Structure 1
Amino acid sequence: MSFDNENATFRVLVNHEEQYSLWPEYKAIPGGWRDSGFLGDKAECLEYVNINWTDMRPLSLRKFMQESSESSVN
């Protein structure tokens, strides 16, 4: 089975930077990623990602920008 199979079952993974990825359900979850708990076909998983991954910036960048913004106010 490949990533191009639209009818395959995928899981949605999330990494420590809160970035999302689709992963074949039958494969072991790679290091650095965790299961979001969502399973579905490719279209369903992409819809889940589109709804839930609303800020494409990595978490570390969002935190840095927030800290920079707060320090410039003080």
Structure 2
Amino acid sequence: MNDEEQYSVWPHGTPAPAGWHGTGFSGDEAACLAHIDEVWTDLRPRGLREWLAARS
């Protein structure tokens, strides 16, 4: 996950690029994608969600 709370998948043992960090979940690709589908329910970046919330 990155600072904007967006998700991606990397092979186990491969360091995440700058700005990304692990969430503690691991598994095969299908399990990872299912987990992301479950937890990433609002696809808007965090900055946009915060900006919109501040305007309402």
Larger RCO, structure (CA 8 Å, separation 6 or more):
2
RMSD: 0.5
Identity percentage over the alignment? 46
Match in the other structure for 1:59: 46
After TM superposition, the score normalised by the length of structure 2 is 0.96
Aligned residues: 56
- Structure 1 runs, 4 residues or longer, greater than 2 Å off: none
Q: Which structure's CA Rg is the greater one?
A: 1
TM-superposition CA deviations, 1:46-74 (whole Å, max 9, x none): 000000000000000000000001xxxxx
Which stretch of structure 1 is more off in the superposition, 60-69 or 22-31? 22-31
After TM superposition, the score normalised by the length of structure 1 is 0.74
